[in-house]
């Protein structure tokens, strides 16, 4: 009976995620912007640098990789939130640490947890295809990461179950967010692409669903590289949403063409 209930809970969570991609909005946390309905305000708002971020002057380029390696080791040992107790692998990120563009998703799922790499499985294959066909890039040309580094599970006692995914909680996002900002500060990308509503909401604080937020450039509201060096952010659909609804591909292709024009100029 208990096992059946857990299975049902997993299936229900998976179903909710299929219908909720456009509307899911995790509550704003202390690391995010105040909610505002004025998008231009959101685009220009600059959060003050906090103690969660590295001092700008202390950053070295990613060339020697020592700081990034130390961060990876720290993350592998991390238990700052409960996800650290149930993960199989902490999933840091993958790709070129000098990339012009960083793609950011929500968090690892079953396949990512098992393989220790973000965006593998069907969503990852589609992301690779988009990179190749629209941007002429390989996975190794860009950097790919997530908001949280460990797999949020409906039933954390069963990491071997598929359909056990859930969105990260505000507390988990808050605990993990410094890793992403440190990653970004080492990579120093020209722009970030947020994949889906959760990543967009967390990084930009926009209140709209992804269908309204996508296809526009924003300024990343955390000052990582000092005044006058904003990172641009382009929200688009999560590849999983395209798998569920192929009609979204047209808009995604348009977004990727905007990205291509930006990184090539
Ligand atoms: S999700 Fe992030 S903060 Fe939580 S345990 Fe994993 S690495 Fe640490």
Q: What is the pLDDT of residues 137-187, one digit of tens each?
A: 999 999 999 999 999 999 999 999 999 999 999 999 999 999 999 999 999
Q: What's the confidence (pLDDT) of residue 65?
A: 81
**Would the CB of 91 count as within 6 Å of ligand 1?**
no
83 Cα to the center of ligand 1, angstroms: 6
Which own/partner contact pairs does 244-250 have at CB distance under 8 Å and 24+ positions apart? 244/18, 244/21
Q: What's the confidence (pLDDT) of residue 230?
A: 80
Name the average pLDDT for the chain: 81
**Would the CB of 79 count as within 6 Å of ligand 1?**
yes
Look at residue 4 and tell me whether its pLDDT is greater than 90: no
**Would the CB of 150 count as within 6 Å of ligand 1?**
yes
Tens of pLDDT, residue by residue over 30-73, are 333 333 333 333 332 233 333 333 333 333 444 458 889 999 99
245 Cα to the center of ligand 1, angstroms: 31
Separation CA 190–CA 197 (nearest Å): 21
Separation CA 38–CA 5 (nearest Å): 43
Domain boundaries, the chain: 2-264
Residue 223 binned pLDDT confidence (cut-offs 50, 70, 90): confident
Separation CA 170–CA 26 (nearest Å): 6
CATH level 2 (architecture), domain 2-264: 3-Layer(aba) Sandwich (3.40)
Q: Which of 159, 176, 180 to mutate to test the pocket of ligand 1 (most atoms within 8 A of CB)?
A: 176
Q: What is the pTM of this model?
A: 0.79
**Would the CB of 78 count as within 6 Å of ligand 1?**
yes
Q: Which of 29, 75, 147 to mutate to test the pocket of ligand 1 (most atoms within 8 A of CB)?
A: 75
155 Cα to the center of ligand 1, angstroms: 17
Can you tell me which atom of ligand 1 is nearest the CA of 75?
7
């Amino acid at each position: 009976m208990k096992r059946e209930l857990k299975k049902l809970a997993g299936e229900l969570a998976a179903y909710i995620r299929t219908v909720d991609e456009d509307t899911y909005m995790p509550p704003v946390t202390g690391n995010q912007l105040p909610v505002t309905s004025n998008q231009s305000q959101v685009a220009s708002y600059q959060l003050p640098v906090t103690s969660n971020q590295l001092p700008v002057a202390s950053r070295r380029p990613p060339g020697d990789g020592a700081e990034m390696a130390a961060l990876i080791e720290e993350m592998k040992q991390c238990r700052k939130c409960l996800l650290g107790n149930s993960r199989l692998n902490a999933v840091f990120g993958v790709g070129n640490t000098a990339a012009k563009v960083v793609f950011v998703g929500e968090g690892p799922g079953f396949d990512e947890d098992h393989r220790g790499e973000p965006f593998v499985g069907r969503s990852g294959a589609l992301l690779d295809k988009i990179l190749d066909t629209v941007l002429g890039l390989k996975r190794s040309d860009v950097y790919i990461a997530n908001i949280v580094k460990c797999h949020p599970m409906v039933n954390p006692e069963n990491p071997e179950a598929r359909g056990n995914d859930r969105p990260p909680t505000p507390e988990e996002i808050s605990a993990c967010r410094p890793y992403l900002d440190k990653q970004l500060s080492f990579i120093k990308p020209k722009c970030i692409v947020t994949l889906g509503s959760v990543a967009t909401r967390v990084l930009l604080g926009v209140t709209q669903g992804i269908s309204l937020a996508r296809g526009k450039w924003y300024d990343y509201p955390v000052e990582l590289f000092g005044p006058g060096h904003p990172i641009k952010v382009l929200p688009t659909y999560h590849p999983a949403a395209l798998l569920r609804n192929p009609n979204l591909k047209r808009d995604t292709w348009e977004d990727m063409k905007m990205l291509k024009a930006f990184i090539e100029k």
